[in-house]
Amino acid sequence: MNALLLSNSASDAGYLTHARPWLAEFASTLAGSGPALFVPFAGVTRSWDDYAQQVADALLPAGIATRALHQEADPACALAEARLIVVGGGNTFQLLRELRRRGLLALIAERVRAGHAAYVGWSAGANLASPTICTTNDMPIVDPGGFDALDLLPFQINPHYTNAHPPGHRGETRDQRLAEFCALNPQRMVLALPEGDALRLDARGLALLGPHDAMLFHGGLAPRALAPGKLSLG
């Protein structure tokens, strides 16, 4: 299985710019395989056409040409032929709902798990690669009809990880939220990815990319920092 999961898309450098070397390396293994298929369904407050154009412009310098899933006459057929599936961020609940109501969720999971398609996702697209969307930071603005997701990984991802907290705020911190998840799901690990980091899964194994340590949450254990490089989460 080949997957690249980014915590975030935008940075001071520009849209997806920080991830360009990782994306280019990832794409080089797929050379000559036709355009990637972009899934824009996490977008809520802008049109999917605009979103797809922004992503197409951002991925081209990494050597990735894209088509947009919502513009395909036969989305299932397009997915069945795609060698690279790219799932953008936005709202995780909306993303999952749109894929489920179109009957495309299982199809994506099968293609990627079988190694027939590679997977790139950021933010909501990284949540979607997890067993469930239970560790998203997003607001549950629509009911996705169940929280089960692509289940490409044996652990959960929490993107945009930070434990910073606005002064005077009385809501839960991120660490408290993740501790709640772990209390109800003690067997399930959560890998929290700070802004700028990514996770790469390929024949070489699992690697943490980027400048920051990630944080591993598991059951009642104290969160553990993991340095960039090869990861073993056993």
The site for a second copy (CB under 8 A) is made up of: 7-11, 44-45, 91, 93-94, 123, 133-143, 146-147, 159-160, 162, 164-172, 176-181, 183-185, 195
Provide the annotated active-site residues.
Answer: 123, 138, 160
In one-letter notation, the amino acid at residue 93 is F
Measured from the CB atom, the residue of 53 and 137 that comes closer to a second copy is 137
Q: DSSP for 35-67, please give it.
A: -EEEE-TT--SS-HHHHHHHHHHHHGGGT--EE
Measured from the CB atom, the residue of 54 and 91 that comes closer to a second copy is 91
Name the nearest CA neighbour of 218 among 201, 234, 198, 194: 234
CB of 37 to a second copy, least distance (A): 24
**DSSP β-bridge partners for residue 86:** 38, 120
CB of 131 to a second copy, least distance (A): 12
Measured from the CB atom, the residue of 67 and 177 that comes closer to a second copy is 177
CB of 125 to a second copy, least distance (A): 14
With a CB cutoff of 8 Å and minimum separation 6, the contacts of 11 are 17, 18, 195, 196
**Could you identify the residue written with the tokens 């591993």?**
216
